[in-house]
Structure 1
């Protein structure tokens, strides 16, 4: 029973980086910030939606409710991609991968994480370019009067953090014997993931 509890570490509430020194401290700080942003974002969206439903029922509406939810959805999405990468929780299509021998899976995992990291960094670059264009346009949200580009600022940050996570996972797979889905999550399935 004890080994099962240890294997379910990705579901633990507190994340501790396995990376050394300053990189590990930075990883822990980013993880805590993402966790707080995700929790607050989901709670704020729920409160905002409920408040808007109640206000409509009594005959008025919160004029900025839809815009606030749009901002929160963007925040949650792009804070969440780095969080999911850190915890090895992105969706994987692994039927063929799982059938391969361990050495082949290891090489493939390194290739996959390197390509994913490069893709995330490219998307970060293109997102910065897009935000610069939106900033030049001078558009503002109609209800909240916030510059539109502000709501997209988390997009390149989320892509960059995710790219760093995948790059670190590739490095971890190069230097360690085992196969890692993230810097601290080993490849494999937990009992609750394979039950039918």
Structure 2
């Protein structure tokens, strides 16, 4: 039974990874392509893409909220760890369980409220200014990204329940590497 659960968690993790990477890479590439084409159009043909700024704003939202799950997966999110670093491994483990569970719950709650907001925007029928697409389409990534972030913290919580070691995410072990002292400057 435990192996089945572990395989399910690994599958979920890999599926989330594929979605995150696809959205992040696609968003960054589209933003770069859009910007390059707009610059060439402006300087070579004296004609900008009329939708370029709006598209980049939408892509920035996609990158930001899909990046939340990705940085959590990598254990690269911003942490205030001065107090945490002074604790013994046993206490670090308990604190990490509290941190991952409370952060997951917070992200799920924020995802719910973001979903309510998106539903309100959908009911109002608002369109984006330039592209004239339904505004709520551009906002759907917000509750999705928050939910995926919650899933990543939930996976970290489960990993910390399963292991004696302390994990920042499902894969990232909490280790302090002081072999590069120049990084701490």
TM-score, normalised by the number of residues in structure 1:
0.86
Q: Which residue of 2 aligns with 1:91?
A: 78
Deviation at 1:172, TM superposition (A): 1.4
Which of 89, 93, 105 matches 1:118?
105
Aligned residues: 178
Shift of 1:30: 1.7
SS at match of 2:40: helix
1:25 to partner: Cα distance: 1.4
Counterpart of 1:186 (choices 159, 163, 173) is 173
Distance 1:105 1:22 in 2: 27
Alignment RMSD (CA, Å)? 1.5
1:24, distance to aligned residue in structure 2 (A) = 1.4
User: Over residues 30-63 of structure 1, what are the superposed CA-to-partner deviations in whole Å (9 max), with x where a residue is unaligned?
Assistant: 2012112211111110111121122122311101
Moved over 4 A (4+): 192-195
For the pair 1:48 / 2:34, whether they are aligned, the reply is yes
1:20 is paired with a residue whose SS is: helix
TM-score with structure 2 setting the length: 0.90
CA–CA distance in structure 1, aligned partners of residues 129 and 142 of structure 2? 21
User: Offset at 1:167?
Assistant: 1.3
> What runs of 5+ residues in structure 2 fail to find an aligned partner?
none
Distance (whole Å) between structure 1 residues aligned to residue 122 and residue 180 of structure 2: 46
The partner residue of 2:142 within 118, 133, 155 is 155
What is residue 28 of structure 1 aligned with on the other side? 14
Structure 1: 5+ residue runs without aligned partners?
Answer: 1-18
Q: Higher mean Cα deviation, 167-176 or 64-73?
A: 167-176
Say if 2:9 and 2:155, in contact at 8 Å, map to a contact too. Answer: no
> Within the alignment, does 1:108 sit opposite 2:95 as a pair?
yes
